Structure 1
């Protein structure tokens, strides 16, 4: 039993993530880049509302500030993919309460899609296992599996080879530079380092910042990203997340992160969030 009837709305978290480092260590024969990164899940993000339908239709309701065309929306694609794979006769209405900035590298679209897969698997009673859902998620995007599995993780491959990792408690000051560069364009950049030496989990745990391969590329291309990184550097080690224009600084104490937030120049779009090892989505699923 799912606990939700046709026509009832349910609400599910879609947490943001940070890439605590990101390096490219080579290319696969198919041309895809081989990555290494650590995904830190956060206690802050979007909310996805789902309402079961008995007519089999998958519909997304428009919301203010969420301008993704429905045909391109990963939440719609995720629902249709799960429906196709499971052969369920049920449908769903989808509403996304958007907080994670689009194109910022915080994983919003991927997390929304993963939430639809995980929550609908429960609501529709389709019974797919986590491994099956992760495979479906990978077809939607390289970052979707980490949200499906719901654990902060060391990641390799294209980001889908995941090893759960327990990270020290931390709070993060997040800033959206407003810069959104197509990921494909960044991967094609001539000045991108694609042959970094592989790191190990012990390298990461020892403390030195391993950096983000895309940070110097974006610094040279975007004055907005460079300005945000330089501003954040007064508080600690400023870093880029993912391949977007989102930046962050880590703090041991939330009060210090909030104090830094208060000192940012007016007009910067910023938040404070705490790192979590287990996704809020999976906590909600356990409660359901």
Structure 2
């Protein structure tokens, strides 16, 4: 069985308060985009569960990968047989695109379907949330306002269907802990759902990502990407999440890959 986990971008990101538990309350809109990994499961040939990764190289112990954590969580509950798991990685990590969370959420959903597990949609989302605050978003996989630590979701009415999106990932990752350490929580004057109800051409002045000020100071090359996208005619450009990927929304297709040598550049068309 094969599925294709997709990435997300953030439409705005306000860091509104620091919590007593050390986490931060945020407000953002998660929006799915058609940049996809490929994830396949088949019965194991070796008698043990193994994760095989191609595409973008991922360092570290495969057992710590969220895909394996998703499998182990259901294996312990339902006595699942061993599997060979194949991941072709196309969504860059350390980019603010939610690729690891998407892989984990799709893995849970695929296991439910493949093994016909008696799990409701609510239980599936609860299992996903145990792996990461944003994992349940990829179960719903349509635009949602995220609040709290990014785990409280409400529907929003926003469509970018037909917009061309260019995503630029520089050869640097921004650790989430580093990004949070340098921000000052502030209650926004305008809420994101109110801003995104306006035309995209009006977002530039009001729809902000609070991580940009500190990340751009530490990584001026990321700031330069955003400036270049605007110079090339983007209606709106922003860093996604805590970075380091930056996206631009264009009404027409643009061939600007040559402007970003050494960077990963992806372009597609918004589908929702």
- 2:226 equivalent among 225, 229, 249: 229
- Are 1:202 and 2:194 counterparts? yes
- List 4+ stretches of structure 1 deviating above 6 A: none
Gap regions ≥5 residues in structure 2: none
- 2:173 equivalent among 156, 162, 180: 180
Q: Distance in 1 between matches of 2:54 and 2:263?
A: 24
- Equivalent residue number for residue 212 of structure 2: 215
Residues 56 and 90, structure 2, Cα contact 8 Å, conserved in 1: no
Q: Distance in 2 between matches of 1:248 and 1:103?
A: 15
Q: Distance in 2 between matches of 1:22 and 1:183?
A: 14
Deviation at 1:43, TM superposition (A): 1.7
Corresponding residue SS for 2:22: coil
- 1:144 equivalent among 135, 138, 142: 135
- Are 1:14 and 2:8 counterparts? no
- Equivalent residue number for residue 275 of structure 1: 270
- Equivalent residue number for residue 281 of structure 1: none
Residues 37 and 91, structure 2, Cα contact 8 Å, conserved in 1: yes
Deviation at 1:259, TM superposition (A): 1.9
Residues 156 and 193, structure 2, Cα contact 8 Å, conserved in 1: no
Q: Distance in 2 between matches of 1:60 and 1:116?
A: 12
Corresponding residue SS for 1:273: strand
- Equivalent residue number for residue 81 of structure 1: 73
Deviation at 1:263, TM superposition (A): 6.1
Q: How many residues align?
A: 261
Deviations 1:56-97 (A, max 9, x none): 84321243533232032111111111222x323323221111
Corresponding residue SS for 1:61: strand
- Equivalent residue number for residue 246 of structure 1: 245
Deviation at 1:262, TM superposition (A): 5.3
Bigger mean CA deviation after superposition, 53-62 or 155-164: 53-62
Q: CA 1:164 to 1:83, structure 2 compared with 1: closer, same or farther past 3 Å?
A: farther
Q: Distance in 2 between matches of 1:149 and 1:173?
A: 24
Corresponding residue SS for 1:115: helix
How large is the RMSD of aligned CA atoms in angstroms?
Answer: 2.1
Residues 229 and 248, structure 2, Cα contact 8 Å, conserved in 1: yes
Residues 25 and 195, structure 1, Cα contact 8 Å, conserved in 2: yes
Deviation at 1:176, TM superposition (A): 0.5
Deviations 1:209-238 (A, max 9, x none): 421011111100013212212211212232
Residues 40 and 276, structure 1, Cα contact 8 Å, conserved in 2: no
Deviation at 1:273, TM superposition (A): 2.1
Deviations 1:132-190 (A, max 9, x none): 1222222211221100222221111111111233422122111002221211121112x
Task: Provide TM-score, normalisation by structure 1.
Answer: 0.83
The equivalences for 1:162-173 within 5 A come to: 162-168=153-159, 169=161, 170-173=163-166
Q: CA 1:120 to 1:228, structure 2 compared with 1: closer, same or farther past 3 Å?
A: same
Task: Provide TM-score, normalisation by structure 2.
Answer: 0.88
